[in-house]
Amino acid sequence: MIYLSKSKYCQGKQCAKILWMNQNKKDLFDSSVLNEARLETGNQVGDLAMGYYGDFVEVKFGERRSDMLADTKKYLDAGDKVIAEASFAFGENFCSVDILRVNDDGSFDVVEVKSSTSKNAEDDSDEKNVKEVYLDDMAYQYYVLTACGYRVNSMSLMQLNRSYVRHGELDIHKLFVVEDYTEAVRSRQADVPETLARITAVAEQEAEPPSDDYIGNRCNKPYECGYKAFCWRNMPENNVFDIGFRVRGTKKEELFRAGILTMEDVLNADGCGLSDKPLRQITTKVLGLPPFVDRDGIKEFLDSLWYPLYYFDFETWPQAIPLFDDVWPYEQIPTQYSLHIQNEPGGPLIHKEFLGKEGEDPRRAIAERICEDIPAAGCMIAYYAAFEKTRIKELAGLFPDLSAHLMAIYENTRDLIDPFAKGHYYCEAMGGRTSIKVVLPAFFPDDPELDYHALDLIHNGTEAADAFATLHEQSPEDIEKIRAALLKYCELDTLAMVRILDKLRTLI
């Protein structure tokens, strides 16, 4: 017998084999797929949302579901009108409702809280920004509540409002957006018992469900599955799921289901209609071709630069719940930058850097320092420059007195990813990808100075963001260590750009 919750139901919708693995091989779960910081953000948002409808009572999470059910009954019997984490069970199906509102006629309004953002409130031109998984989650709750005999009047989704900008006190009625999905949830009701029957049958079977029947895009969507190392263990190297260059997941799955398993199979099937760049990845790999170099394309890119050249990289802090004025949910607040300046191709480097003070809004200080460090007419270069340019534009919008200077830098920014994304250079070690974390070791596989893994504490942008977010909570000694690690990490990002550009120059 398998007991389901709303998260288990959604896992089963993603892949019924996850439930079988949970039952039989749970120790193989790779917990590194769980992002602790994101889970913590979800908890903080959930706690804040509980107060949206005023006074409330909360059913405390407990190991024993029976206690949560008893508490819920106690609050309902007492006539409480807003109950957070109200819990219900029907047969083997259990669910806790984020916010339950009890109407005077005894019917329920159910609110599911997610820490994701909604679309801008004024944007009603497109489908609402709701993931299928949220609807499945709500459909399961509706099923359990109605099966228990309750009348559910409405099902709503509460998300963070991306168009809310904090000014002064946090206004949770503007911070959150509540959208009604009652009809969409009701239209899924026929699917719920069918899904329950299907996924519990798989979960309760004795033999392991064959991986080949299940593996595919679902192993990463909507969430990365922690059993991939096990289920994918017999997949050959260079299988079709390793094809990069933005080939759609549905196309790869289509090839896989058609028995085209490896890149070699793709070549034997005349390329399967893939475009030039993925085909270059495949031929380079299968035929062992040397790096592809389009000298004209690289030269054109290099000719678009002028010196002194300003190699620039931001690190940012996306706050789900805005902590400062003039911040919206998940705005990428720039917290630090690294800058290498080079006066002539291959010339010596000057390094400058900025790192905001922990717990403080760094934007004014960082904007002023950028204007001091980079002249308006300077050529700035970044890797995946759309990110840096967007942050610069946001700073320009925030500080009108610096706007002209910042927007000149914005206009003068070039993108070092272009030669790779446009296919002017490709080598086997890139594996169909073009990020700096792939291109750098492809060019310099054995250089310890350019090895992100050799860094202390901070090895990627997510770690940098998480470290800065909690920096003010650390001891003075740890703050010093973490700040040093943040500076080192960001410095490597711009040093990597310098070396990559040097390498491109030598290629032509």
Under DSSP, is residue 78 helix (H, G, I), strand (E, B) or coil?
Answer: coil
Minimum CB distance to ligand SF4, residue 256 (Å): 12
Choose the binding region for ligand SF4 from 12-20, 45-53, 161-169, 233-241 (rule: CB under 6 A): 12-20
Instruction: Judge contact between 493 and 311, C-beta under 8 A.
Output: no
Using the contact rule CB under 6 A, the part of the chain among 56-64, 214-222, 424-432, 450-458 near ligand SF4 is: 214-222
How many angstroms separate the CA atoms of 457 and 497, rounded? 21
Q: Does 225 bind ligand SF4 (CB under 6 A)?
A: yes
Using the minimum distance from each CB to ligand SF4, give the nearer residue, 113 or 225: 225
Q: Does 309 bind ligand SF4 (CB under 6 A)?
A: no
Q: Alpha carbon of 336 to those of 369, 455, 472: distances in Å? A: 10, 17, 15
Establish if 227 lies at the interface with ligand SF4 (CB under 6 A).
Answer: yes
Instruction: State the alpha helices, DSSP H only, in 148-231.
Output: 172-175, 182-186, 191-204, 228-231
The pair of three-digit structure tokens given for residue 134, joined into one six-digit string: 């949220």
Considering the complex, what minimum distance in angstroms separates the CB of residue 14 from ligand SF4? 6
Give the integer Cα–Cα distance in Å for 25 and 31: 13
Stretch that binds ligand SF4, among 28-36, 210-218, 343-351, 434-442 (CB under 6 A): 210-218
Stretch that binds ligand SF4, among 160-168, 207-215, 341-349, 475-483 (CB under 6 A): 207-215
The tokens for 85 are: 């984490």
Range list of β-strands (E), 304-412? 309-319, 331-342, 349-355, 379-382
Per residue, the 3-state secondary structure of 267-295, as one string, reads: HHCHHHHCCHHHHHHHHHHHHCCCCEECH
DSSP class of 61: P
Positive or negative: CA dihedral 430, 434, 436, 439: positive
Instruction: Give the binding range for ligand SF4 (CB under 6 A) out of 42-50, 66-74, 126-134, 221-229.
Output: 221-229
Q: Is 19 near ligand SF4 (CB under 6 A)?
A: no
Instruction: Give me the 395-434 binding string for ligand SF4, x by CB under 6 A, dash otherwise.
Output: ----------------------------------------
Kindly state whether residue 214 participates in binding ligand SF4, applying the rule CB under 6 A: yes
CA distance 217 to 203: 20
Counting every residue written for the chain, the total comes to: 508
Within 37-56, the residues that bind ligand SF4 by CB under 6 A are none
* 21 binds ligand SF4 per the rule CB under 6 A: yes
Q: Does 228 bind ligand SF4 (CB under 6 A)?
A: yes
Residue 226 or 378 having the CB closest to ligand SF4 = 226
Cβ-based nearer residue to ligand SF4, 143 or 227: 227
Residues 339-378 that bind ligand SF4 (CB under 6 A): none
Q: Among 4, 15, 111, 471, which residue interacts with ligand SF4 (rule: CB under 6 A)?
A: 15
Does residue 389 touch ligand SF4 according to CB under 6 A? no
Nearer to ligand SF4, 12 or 334 (CB): 12
203 binds ligand SF4 (CB under 6 A): no
Alpha-carbon torsion angle 8, 10, 13, 17, nearest 10: -30
Q: Does 10 bind ligand SF4 (CB under 6 A)?
A: no
**Choice between 9 and 354, CB closer to ligand SF4:** 9
Tokens at 199, concatenated: 């996924």
Is 101 among the residues that bind ligand SF4 (CB under 6 A)?
no
17 near ligand SF4, judged by CB under 6 A: yes
Q: Does 219 bind ligand SF4 (CB under 6 A)?
A: yes
Closest CA to 493 of 351, 343, 301: 351
Task: Pick from 97, 231, 409, 439 the residue near ligand SF4 by CB under 6 A.
Answer: 231
Nearest to 54 by CA among 88, 85, 84, 74: 84
Work out whether strand 108-118 and strand 349-355 pair parallel, antiparallel, or are unpaired.
Answer: unpaired
482 interacts with ligand SF4 by CB under 6 A: no
**Interface positions, 438-477, toward ligand SF4 (CB under 6 A):** none
The reply to whether 492 sits near ligand SF4 by the rule CB under 6 A is no
Distances (CA, A) of 365 to 3, 45, 355, 371: 54, 29, 10, 10
Interaction between residue 215 and ligand SF4 (CB under 6 A): yes
Smallest separation, CB 200 to ligand SF4 (Å): 15
10 Å CB burial of residue 233 (0-12, 13-18, 19+) is exposed
Site residue total, ligand SF4 (CB under 6 A)? 13
**Cα–Cα distance between 31 and 238 in angstroms, integer?**
25
Q: What angle (nearest 5°) sits at the alpha carbon of residue 344, between those of residues 343 and 346?
A: 120
Q: Least distance (Å) from ligand SF4 to the CB of residue 231?
A: 3
Q: Closest approach of Cβ 224 to ligand SF4, in Å? A: 9
**SS3 state at 240:** helix
Q: How far is the CB of 437 from ligand SF4 (least distance, A)?
A: 24
Is the distance from CB of 457 to CB of 482 less than 8 angstroms? yes
256 binds ligand SF4 (CB under 6 A): no
218 binds ligand SF4 (CB under 6 A): yes
List residues binding ligand SF4 (CB under 6 A): 15, 17-18, 21, 211, 214-215, 218-219, 225, 227-228, 231
